[in-house]
Structure 1
Amino acid sequence: MLSTLRIRHIGVIDDALLEFGPGFTVLTGETGAGKTMIVTGLTMLLGGRLDRGRTRESSTVDGTLSLAGHDELATALDELGADEDDGEVLVVRRVTRDGRSRAQLGGVPIPIGTLARLVGTAVTVHGQSDQQRLRDPDAQREALDRFASQEIGPLRERHREIWRERSALTERLAALDALLAERDRRGTALREALERLEQADPQVGEDEALRTELERLGSAEELRGAAGQAVLALVGDDDGPAAGALLDVAGEVLGRAARTDATLQPLVERLDAMRIELSDVAAEISRYADDIDASPGRLEEANARLHELTVLVRDLGAMLPGPDGPAEDITTLLETSRTAAIELDRFEGAEQERGLAAARLAELEPELAAAADALTAARTTAAAALSAAVQEELRHLEMPDAAIRVDVSVQSHRSHGRDAVAILLAPHPGAEHLPVGQAASGGELSRVMLALEVALSSSRSDRSAAPVFVFDEIDAGIGGRAALAVGQRLARLARHAQVIVVTHLPQVAAHAGTHLQIVKSSREGTTSSTVEHLDRPGRIRELARMLAGDAASDLALAHAEELLDEARTVTGGESPARGAGG
């Protein structure tokens, strides 16, 4: 429920605090006192816009809302890290004249859209031009579903589960068809490319290694000459000294000296090591020179292999491109071939997956049709019950000759079924049933809306999350017995919900459990309004003013007291919904 509402600097209201009762709260006041500003403030709290003409430098509304039963709101508070106080949350909305708007939920700043979504689940405002549920087919279907939620709810959820699975399968089939079309276009070429690559069996870096080898083989004569000269310099021949022979002489001379001076022995050993290393180097150079001549056909073989790999890269590079474009060497081609192999694997599994998806989709179609049929049957039954319930409420609202009908017809299949729901009204005998928004006058439309709300609330099984209804002059265009009837039905609605009503009719106001009066005052040329909570004597005076325009008339006071007592007798107490959650 909505516990308090504080409005600052909106229209004629400087600062007003409203404390609502848990059942039926009524707001009254003279014309121009600011009753509309109260509804405007409530609408702001739900994320609505504020007319710039009613905005001061800064207009603020804050309200205290009970969390009991409102699971979505409570969950959102946990996710936001917002504060709550003894099961209640403070909602704040501030609008400046230059159009800037701020909202807070439990002390945490939130977007206006989030405010509207979360607080809108707990509070519903009905104005004279706000009977959208009586004009919008989707809203009428949702109203019917809420009326019979125990029967329709599980069937609708089952239908939605099948619909979601069918939608997912349909999307997957489209993706698989695209994949198979790609397979038909590229699959064969990719497979042939991979087979050709497998037959050639190239190795990572092989083309670069071949180029290096070919450069060496092309300079064989020069390399052999260099190797021969090096060997000759190291080991020599009969024509002249060489490094090896000179090392032998140095070793022999130093060895003889070491027999006299032992400190020379380490140097002798180093010379011996150098002689061995020189001999090894000379041997390796000789083997290198021999290898150049060992395979006279290797030059032709290497050239042929490099040509084969070059052609492979040229032919397959564009077919198996990498992230930077066509492959330009064997190493890159081998890397991109792995991606192609993965793509082929996807192609291979796509046909089988498509078959399974198509088979499951075929199974789902009759399941979906059966679920839709069951939903239609449940809605058709509920429509008859809702028609009867609203018809009974209209009888109590002084519209006994009006005939209400809730029609369920076929429309295109959607996630909620294939049912279109329309609330139709024949305002008098012999009249054609038309959409209620067309058939009803302003006063009738208000009563039909009230009848619908009472019927829907009476059918609710969960009383812990009773909603908050705000009615802005729902009694416009009616009076007399019809006004009394509206007051009685509002009191009945307040048994299952918190009801806040702005009214100008004493017959309606008398049925409330809590009475708030908007009081206008003028001082120094400035008009402002405040809100007063009325006790019984105050209520009698206000009802007398509403009845006769004179709160001091003995006759009006007596009539007002009688009206208040009769209303208490009818409703069975001041606040029939006291203790209901909000």
Structure 2
Amino acid sequence: MLEELEVSNLGPIRSALLTPSKGMTAITGETGAGKSMLLSAIRLISGATASVARVSAGADSAWAQGIFDVDENGEATRLAQDAGVLDTDSEKTDPDPDEIGRQELFLSRTVPASGRSRAVLCGHSVPRNVLGNIASQLVTIHGQADQMRLASPARQREFLDMAADDKAELDAYRQAWEQLQAIDRRLHYVTDQEASARARADYLRESIEQINKVDPKPGEDEELKEKRSRVENAAEIAQGVGSALSALDASQVDSDSDAQGASDAITHAIQALRTIHVGGSFGEAADRLESLNNDLSDIVFSLSNEVDSDEDAEGLDFINSRIHELDELTRRWGPTLEDVIAWRDKAAFEVEDLDASPEKVDELKAERQQAFEKAMKAAEALSKKRKLAAAALANTVTKELSALAMAGSGLEIRVTRRDSAGKGNSASKKNAKDDASSCVSTWPLEVNGIDDIEFLFTPFPGSPQLPMGKSASGGELSRLMLALELSVAEKRGADQSDMTFIFDEVDAGVGGKAAVELGKRLAKLSKTSQVIVVTHLAQVASWADAQFVVSKGKSGVKARNAGSKATVETTVNEVTGDARIHEIARMLSGSESATSLDHAKELLDESRI
């Protein structure tokens, strides 16, 4: 929702501050007063192309800023966070209860008299398209220059999907579509790149076979290198271990030896200490010696095993050969044996995908057929819901158009299966041809389903149906868009409560009772979304919750390259109370006579019913 729009030095507007109502706001004023500059300001902060011609005479730059109050969990906030201008962890201290879950976004644009424009989001310079992406979530302008957006088939499909409330069906279809695409990519890889795939598969098979032939075990190379070191130093080890055992326990080396070892000496010392029956530390010393003797026994046992181990010097050649084989593996697929084993296991899976054998291709084609049938079923469910919604939406819009002084006008929404009687747009057919030439065609399926969607508008009785956007004046298109927005207002619900709809020229060619109906319907739309309407009809403006008047006058301004001269300056002021009654009277009759003032009061009172 737009909380505030501030403009300076934009065309005839030197300075203006607009604070629209949460509901409906009317912008009025005489023709040529500069109402279009306010729309230009909104387009600027929405990322539109900037023109230096819009900079006021004598000013160095034009500037516009919009402050929007948005849902902190909404898409606009997410886009701002992605742009790096919002701290996702920031928390307000002492927040107002009404502000909980809300976020303010500041969108501004500076257009210098010479040079490039500057886009700013919440105080941070950003690319212009960032403002455009965020503004697209917040503002929808329905004016003569903005109607072509819904002329595109993609926009029409998005609008119909929103009206159909078919998110579940659309998500189910897109999931099935992605599965189909994944299988097609595998088929494409196997069939269209068969030669390179076969070469890759052969390499992987040979590599796997080579690794399996060696059959490495994790850490085996390190164990072998340690064993080799022991074999190479066997004599030195035997001599050292034998000397150590002779000193500790000679019987381990020579069973007939009577020499006393360290273990025997400690045992003797323990026995001597145990014979002392006088209190003191003798028992503690004996305990410590026993603990020491146990450790010593473990060491003797371990060293004796070393003596008994048979380090076969003749096996050294085998060990070296095995280490060489393992080193070859780690050199090619390492750096460790664990990496070699992991590479082999991964390669085994890749070989399956690269298998271009007829059996594998047939298996993939069968899998692909199942995925295609699943996607077709999901597409048909989506198409059915779209067709029901299209009929209901077109009927509702046609009724609304009749109340908006467009009796005889009508909207038809065609949802055509892409495979029916060979119909379908040329782009779809080209895609199908491309798919068929590369692998297996997905025709008639595309990323958004099986349907071609077209909005056809009949502007007056007897007129042929024409594509939307090419068949009506700006005012007629604005009223058509109002009818569309009204028809889906309830569908939008809370998800679009932050949206601001701006209508320009919506009252062109309308008067009398139809103008009252137009104002009433704009007010109805403002119950679910913020509405700003630029109008010259009192019957429309009277329904607004707030009204701003754009007026012009002369002002002395010093031009950049000349002396002082008189220029036209536009002001924007909110009118309330008696001032609003006078403005409604002016709009009714061009004067502020007693009769027109009474009529204005009556009109305002009736609009509040």
Scaled by the length of structure 2, the TM-score of the pair is 0.65
Q: Please show how residues 68-467 of structure 1 align to structure 2 within 5 Å.
A: 68=71, 71-79=74-82, 80-82=84-86, 86=99, 87=102, 88-149=104-165, 152-177=166-191, 180-182=194-196, 184-185=198-199, 335=331, 345=348, 348-350=351-353, 351=355, 357-411=364-418, 412=428, 413-462=445-494, 465-467=497-499
**Aligned in 2, Cα 1:344/1:125: closer, same or farther, shift over 3 Å?**
closer
**Aligned in 2, Cα 1:69/1:487: closer, same or farther, shift over 3 Å?**
farther
SS class of match (2:387): helix
CA-CA distance at 1:429 after TM superposition: 4.3
The residue identity in structure 2 corresponding to 1:142 is E
Higher radius of gyration, 1 or 2: 1
CA-CA distance at 1:81 after TM superposition: 4.6
What is the rounded CA distance, in whole Å, between the counterparts of 1:197 and 1:446 in structure 2? 72
- Paired position in structure 1 for 2:229: none
SS class of match (2:572): strand
- Paired position in structure 2 for 1:549: 590
SS class of match (1:460): helix
Report whether the alignment pairs 1:526 with 2:567.
yes
Task: Check the 8 A contact 2:70/2:498 in 1, yes or no.
Answer: no
The residue identity in structure 1 corresponding to 2:534 is V
- Paired position in structure 2 for 1:43: 43
Larger mean Cα displacement after TM superposition, 106-115 or 19-28: 106-115
**Aligned in 2, Cα 1:431/1:195: closer, same or farther, shift over 3 Å?**
closer
Task: Check the 8 A contact 2:24/2:526 in 1, yes or no.
Answer: yes
CA-CA distance at 1:562 after TM superposition: 2.4
What is the rounded CA distance, in whole Å, between the counterparts of 1:512 and 1:461 in structure 2? 21
What is the rounded CA distance, in whole Å, between the counterparts of 2:209 and 2:371 in structure 1? 42
Report whether the alignment pairs 1:59 with 2:100.
no
CA-CA distance at 1:18 after TM superposition: 0.4
**Aligned in 2, Cα 1:143/1:109: closer, same or farther, shift over 3 Å?**
same
SS class of match (2:384): helix
SS class of match (2:71): coil
**Aligned in 2, Cα 1:496/1:69: closer, same or farther, shift over 3 Å?**
farther
**Aligned in 2, Cα 1:333/1:426: closer, same or farther, shift over 3 Å?**
closer
CA-CA distance at 1:415 after TM superposition: 1.1
What is the rounded CA distance, in whole Å, between the counterparts of 2:350 and 2:498 in structure 1? 56
The residue identity in structure 1 corresponding to 2:35 is K
What is the rounded CA distance, in whole Å, between the counterparts of 1:190 and 1:146 in structure 2? 50
Choose which of 537, 556, 573 in structure 2 pairs with 1:505: 537
**Aligned in 2, Cα 1:70/1:434: closer, same or farther, shift over 3 Å?**
farther
CA-CA distance at 1:50 after TM superposition: 2.2
Structural RMSD (CA): 3.3
- Paired position in structure 1 for 2:253: none
Gaps of 5+ in 2: 93-98, 215-326, 335-339, 419-427, 429-444, 557-565
What is the rounded CA distance, in whole Å, between the counterparts of 1:463 and 1:332 in structure 2? 62
SS class of match (1:20): coil
Task: Check the 8 A contact 1:69/1:464 in 2, yes or no.
Answer: no
What is the rounded CA distance, in whole Å, between the counterparts of 1:113 and 1:384 in structure 2? 36
CA-CA distance at 1:5 after TM superposition: 0.5
CA-CA distance at 1:454 after TM superposition: 1.0
CA-CA distance at 1:70 after TM superposition: 6.0
**Aligned in 2, Cα 1:336/1:481: closer, same or farther, shift over 3 Å?**
same
CA-CA distance at 1:500 after TM superposition: 0.5
Render the CA deviation track for 1:390-417: whole Å, top value 9, x for unaligned. 1221122122322322211123432111
The residue identity in structure 2 corresponding to 1:53 is A
SS class of match (2:417): strand
- Paired position in structure 1 for 2:600: 560
The residue identity in structure 1 corresponding to 2:50 is L
Larger mean Cα displacement after TM superposition, 34-43 or 452-461: 452-461
CA-CA distance at 1:162 after TM superposition: 1.1
CA-CA distance at 1:144 after TM superposition: 1.1
CA-CA distance at 1:332 after TM superposition: 8.6
Task: Check the 8 A contact 1:135/1:435 in 2, yes or no.
Answer: yes
Scaled by the length of structure 1, the TM-score of the pair is 0.68
What is the rounded CA distance, in whole Å, between the counterparts of 1:459 and 1:371 in structure 2? 23
What is the rounded CA distance, in whole Å, between the counterparts of 1:14 and 1:541 in structure 2? 25
**Aligned in 2, Cα 1:12/1:379: closer, same or farther, shift over 3 Å?**
same
CA-CA distance at 1:97 after TM superposition: 2.3
Identity, % of aligned positions: 36
CA-CA distance at 1:531 after TM superposition: 1.4
The residue identity in structure 2 corresponding to 1:394 is L
SS class of match (2:67): strand
SS class of match (2:450): strand
The residue identity in structure 1 corresponding to 2:40 is T
What is the rounded CA distance, in whole Å, between the counterparts of 1:495 and 1:69 in structure 2? 21
Task: Check the 8 A contact 1:68/1:464 in 2, yes or no.
Answer: no
CA-CA distance at 1:108 after TM superposition: 2.7
Larger mean Cα displacement after TM superposition, 34-43 or 131-140: 131-140
**Aligned in 2, Cα 1:98/1:334: closer, same or farther, shift over 3 Å?**
same
What is the rounded CA distance, in whole Å, between the counterparts of 1:189 and 1:436 in structure 2? 58
SS class of match (1:32): coil
The residue identity in structure 2 corresponding to 1:49 is T
SS class of match (1:486): helix
Render the CA deviation track for 1:226-257: whole Å, top value 9, x for unaligned. xxxxxxxxxxxxxxxxxxxxxxxxxxxxxxxx
The residue identity in structure 1 corresponding to 2:7 is I
Task: Check the 8 A contact 2:405/2:510 in 1, yes or no.
Answer: no
The residue identity in structure 1 corresponding to 2:68 is L
The residue identity in structure 2 corresponding to 1:349 is E
**Aligned in 2, Cα 1:431/1:494: closer, same or farther, shift over 3 Å?**
same
- Paired position in structure 1 for 2:562: none
**Aligned in 2, Cα 1:428/1:120: closer, same or farther, shift over 3 Å?**
closer
Task: Check the 8 A contact 1:518/1:530 in 2, yes or no.
Answer: yes
Matched residue count: 439
Task: Check the 8 A contact 1:180/1:347 in 2, yes or no.
Answer: no
- Paired position in structure 2 for 1:492: 524
The residue identity in structure 2 corresponding to 1:417 is G
**Aligned in 2, Cα 1:447/1:20: closer, same or farther, shift over 3 Å?**
same
SS class of match (1:165): helix
**Aligned in 2, Cα 1:191/1:42: closer, same or farther, shift over 3 Å?**
closer
The residue identity in structure 1 corresponding to 2:142 is H
CA-CA distance at 1:52 after TM superposition: 1.7
SS class of match (1:437): coil
What is the rounded CA distance, in whole Å, between the counterparts of 2:158 and 2:474 in structure 1? 23
Render the CA deviation track for 1:482-508: whole Å, top value 9, x for unaligned. 322221211111111100111122221
What is the rounded CA distance, in whole Å, between the counterparts of 1:10 and 1:197 in structure 2? 75
Larger mean Cα displacement after TM superposition, 438-447 or 397-406: 438-447
**Aligned in 2, Cα 1:509/1:455: closer, same or farther, shift over 3 Å?**
same
Choose which of 535, 541, 549 in structure 1 pairs with 2:576: 535
What is the rounded CA distance, in whole Å, between the counterparts of 1:429 and 1:526 in structure 2? 47
What is the rounded CA distance, in whole Å, between the counterparts of 1:377 and 1:193 in structure 2? 53
Task: Check the 8 A contact 2:14/2:570 in 1, yes or no.
Answer: yes
